[in-house]
Each structure stands twice: as structure tokens, then as C-alpha cells.
Amino acid sequence: MAYLTIARIAGEPSALLAGYRRTSALMDGVGRDHGLILHAGAETPDGLLIVNLWPSRDESDAAAADPRRLSALRAEAIRPDRQHKEHHEVERYVLFDRGKAEAIPSVAR
């Protein structure tokens, strides 16, 4: 069963977003290696919001324990007490084919 992880990281939003951008290629590799279906990240007024959709809880747990991920979090000083995580088994999800998927950086408005 698919598994949804929602993480809220508290802190200064622009600093967290800068760290998110610095580690995105590495974290993309961790996700890819553990079967990540979908990833979304957004700056919020209180910090950063991350949403991940995994094939199962096992893949989510394996990615969470991946040494590359843990090292990146340490390097960016993301402490566990600044993270609030929710985990949910997914009843249903739909992926719409809109052509080739690619990461596109947002443009400052």
C-alpha cells in the first residue's frame, strides 16, 4: 500500500529553502534509490513543507535511514526537534500523464 509522508520543518523560511536547494540533487538520489513516487517541497511562513509519496512504508523507512539523507540533514543543521512528521497509508492516488516530468525551479515573483 502506498505511504504518504508529510514533514514540516520549523525555522527561518529563506534559510531552510536555501538548504533545501543545496541538498536537492542528493535527496533526489535517495528518493530515486528507494522508489519515491512523488516529491513536493514548499516554503511556508513557518519554514518548509515536504510531501513524499512512497510505494510502501518499507521504502519510506529505508529512505529515512539512508546515511546520505542523515548526513545532509546534519550538514544543514536540521535537528529532529525542528521536524514534525505525519505518516499515512494511502487509500488512492492518481498520476496524470502530462508529458515528460522534470524538476523545474520556481521563479521568484
How high does pLDDT run on average in the chain? 89
C-alpha–C-alpha distance, residues 105 and 68, integer Å: 23
Identify the pLDDT of residue 106: 46
pLDDT of residue 78: 87
Q: What's the whole-model pTM score?
A: 0.84
Q: Find where cell 529515512 sits.
A: 64
The predicted pLDDT at position 109 comes to 34
46 phi/psi in degrees, rounded to 5: -105, 0
Name residue 2's amino acid: A
The three cell numbers of residue 58 are 518499507
Listed residue (25, 35, 70) closest to 56, CA to CA: 35
Fold of 3-89: Alpha-Beta Plaits (3.30.70)
